[in-house]
Structure 1
């Protein structure tokens, strides 16, 4: 049988062990939270960079594409006019 003093000592040791484990877990949570905060900050920086740099460049590319498309339409229209003139002369 376990006497009362031994039981108290076992309970104290168990309590100390549980306290140690709890503190280690809390410290682990703090480290995880710090890493998560770091990842969130990096994500915010990346989003800001995308918003300011990439999106403005994409807008410029689309504007350039639109200008080229408009020029091609005008050239096509002029070529069509010249084709009509040439075809009239041939007939």
Structure 2
């Protein structure tokens, strides 16, 4: 009877060890899959950061060009305003001289 009990315990132990090995292998496979997914996500993040950096530079360049254009227009408006004021004065002089 003791031999049968020992054999049964040995068989159960071996089956449990095999089950643990299978479970361990499955967990390792899942962890490897998760690591690959994380690596892919990291690459995507880097790609998006690079793209955002390029877009940021392009937006800044556009903003800078807009500001420069507005500054140029302000100077043009000042010059035109000065000419209009000068012409108004000349018209008053001409009208007053008649």
Unaligned residue ranges in structure 2 (runs of 5+) = 1-10
In the other structure, the counterpart of 2:6 is: none
1:24 equivalenced with 2:33 (yes/no):
yes
1:81 equivalenced with 2:81 (yes/no):
no
Of 9-18 and 78-87, more deviation after overlay is shown by 78-87
Give the whole-Å Cα distance in 2 for the aligned partners of 1:28 and 1:63.
50
- Please show how residues 28-67 of structure 1 align to structure 2 within 5 Å: 28-51=37-60, 53-67=61-75
Structure with bigger gyration radius? 2
SS of structure 2 residue aligned to 1:78: helix
CA RMSD of aligned residues (A): 2.4
TM superposition outliers: structure 1 runs of 4+ over 6 Å? none
Deviation at 1:79, TM superposition (A): 3.9
TM-score by length of 2: 0.70
- What whole-Å deviation, never above 9, does each CA across 1:40-88 have from its counterpart, x for those lacking one? 112222223333x324412321122112220232133124324533664
Give the whole-Å Cα distance in 1 for the aligned partners of 2:29 and 2:77.
70
